[in-house]
Amino acid sequence: MRLLLIAFIPMAAAAMLRFRVPGAKRLLAISQGDLTRWVPPAQPSAIVNAANERCLGGGGVDGAIHKAAGPELRKLCEALPEVAPGVRCPTGDAVSTKACGALQSTHVIYTVGPNVSGRRYESDVSGDATTDPAKLPAAYRRTFEVASELGLAAVALPAVSCGVFGYPLADAARIGTRAAVASNIDYVEFVLFSDDLYDIFATAAEDACGPPEVT
């Protein structure tokens, strides 16, 4: 059951733009701040972890989420079924657990984007899904499918496959924002850690939705 929207801006956001999804009442927000401190504007909700296929923690956003959630989150992740040896979430897919610790969402969704660093940015013909750029749209699509299956009202995401995974930022922003617009989630927020990512995702959101709302 969805609860009423909370009438304040999440503390995670140092800067924020809100966009109205064309032809809908849904909102897409772009903010700069700490994803682990995100305050959901509605419940139930999830933060999205840019995870690896093992789903047992790592560096960057993945490590920060596990640190904020505490050891209980690793136990929840260990309980996720392996679909192949050491693989709980294949590249391009998404899975979920309950949230815990300091996280204020009700769920965590784990998705694995492709690692395209050190290779030409083109469709992969090697059969290695972990480096195929086409797996990023799949990862976002599956993330929102899982969110919909869970009946979530709000979802917050990082910039999946950016940073050390090397996805071209403008392309990643376009893919992510368009997937958010195509979803049925009432409130989607990208929480970005750097000025560059914030600006790039804001541009992509405006391309998808038109000018931001005036607040």
The residues annotated with a catalytic role in the active site are: 62
Element (H, E) at 29: strand 27-33
In 116-141, which positions are buried (b, 16+ CB within 10 angstroms) versus exposed (e)?
beeeeeeebeeeebbbbbebbbbbbb
CA 1 to chain centre: 22
Dist CA 27 CA 104 (whole Å): 20
Element (H, E) at 192: strand 187-192
Residue type, 171: D
Dist CA 131 CA 133 (whole Å): 6
**CB neighbours of residue 79 within 10 Å:** 9
Dist CA 178 CA 209 (whole Å): 9
Whose CA is closest to 156, among 50, 3, 38, 32?
38
Tell me if residue 120 falls in helix, strand or coil.
coil
Element (H, E) at 194: none
